[in-house]
């Protein structure tokens, strides 16, 4: 399994992925889920993938040469000459369908579902940053100010902190920290997600990035974040008042009333099992 997250902010984009792949309890491997496509000064794009590893690897290879027709009769569109991220996402969708047409029937005959999901984002000169989530049929949706991030893979454990922290005005470094906390929460709760991690932080209108990092278990910042986050959570939990069951005076009472009580079964002596 895997966990990947990408965040779109006013200041830029943050991408983070784990690298664990497993085909059973005793067969765990490490594969990179992130790839960066960069033409300095012209375009910067990042692709994250989850799902069947053979499918996602095939899509990544075909994407390098995949092309779609230009509706205006110009040269075929590839990710390297697309004039918008929307057109680049269309090329990615075409690559996904290409792999399905080639391998879908054989996979189905072997009882294997065609399962792949991807996050694709970046910026092409002449337009703003854009972020897309791409599905198995090759269709996609785009991030909006109301939906600023996408997750694929084991997303449920890392979602709450993103919902509470991320806004359009969140600074890039703070968003990177939030993404790492989201990943750490997932690592804590799910053994199918694992280190090392790949992190990319892209500043708007730069069309390149020097903040491309592979984070190993020994990384001092990650070790600090991992230990401190757990400690601070415990401290916040301990600072909350205990529930008061008898309705005694308290700042935040938990009143016991006759309304909306859960059903309670009371076992009488005659109902006890012999």
Could you tell me which residue, 240 or 132, shows the higher pLDDT?
Answer: 132
Q: Is the pLDDT of residue 23 over 60?
A: no
User: Do 34 and 48 form a contact (C-beta atoms < 8 A)?
Assistant: yes
Phi, psi (rounded to 5 degrees) for 238 = -65, -25
Residues in CB range of 148: below 8 A, 6 or more apart = 7, 8, 9, 166, 167, 168
Taken in order 259, 260, 261, 263, the sign of the CA dihedral is: positive
Q: Is the pLDDT of residue 235 over 80?
A: yes
**What domains, with CATH codes, occur in the chain?**
3-233 (3.60.20.10)
Return the pLDDT at 247: 56
- Per residue in 190-202, pLDDT (tens digit) is 988 999 999 999 9
Return the pLDDT at 1: 76
pTM: 0.90
- Per residue in 48-73, pLDDT (tens digit) is 999 999 999 999 999 999 999 998 78
């Amino acid at each position: 399994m895997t966990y990947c997250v990408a965040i779109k902010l006013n200041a830029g984009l943050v991408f983070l992925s784990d690298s664990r792949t497993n085909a059973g309890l005793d067969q765990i491997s490490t594969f990179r889920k992130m790839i960066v496509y960069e033409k300095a000064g012209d375009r910067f794009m990042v692709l994250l993938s989850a799902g069947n590893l053979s499918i996602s690897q095939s899509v990544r290879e075909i994407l390098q040469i995949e092309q779609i027709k230009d509706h205006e009769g110009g040269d075929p569109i590839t990710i390297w000459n697309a004039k918008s991220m929307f057109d680049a996402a269309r090329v990615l969708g075409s690559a996904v369908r290409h792999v399905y047409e080639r391998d879908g029937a054989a996979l189905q005959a072997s009882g294997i579902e065609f399962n792949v999901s991807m996050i694709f984002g970046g910026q092409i000169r002449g337009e703003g940053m854009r972020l897309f989530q791409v599905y198995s049929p090759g269709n996609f949706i785009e991030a909006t100010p109301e939906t600023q991030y996408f997750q694929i893979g084991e997303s449920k454990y890392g979602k709450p902190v993103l919902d509470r922290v991320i806004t359009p005005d969140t600074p890039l470094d703070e968003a990177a920290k939030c993404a790492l906390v989201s990943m750490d929460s997932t690592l804590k709760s799910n053994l199918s997600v694992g280190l090392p991690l790949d992190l990319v932080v892209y500043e708007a209108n730069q069309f390149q990035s020097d903040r491309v990092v592979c984070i190993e278990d020994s990384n001092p910042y990650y070790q600090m974040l991992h230990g401190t986050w757990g400690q601070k959570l415990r401290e916040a939990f301990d600072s909350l008042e205990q529930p008061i069951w008898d309705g005694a005076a308290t700042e935040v009472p938990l009143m016991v009333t006759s309304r909306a009580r859960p059903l309670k079964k009371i076992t009488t002596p005659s109902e006890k099992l012999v």
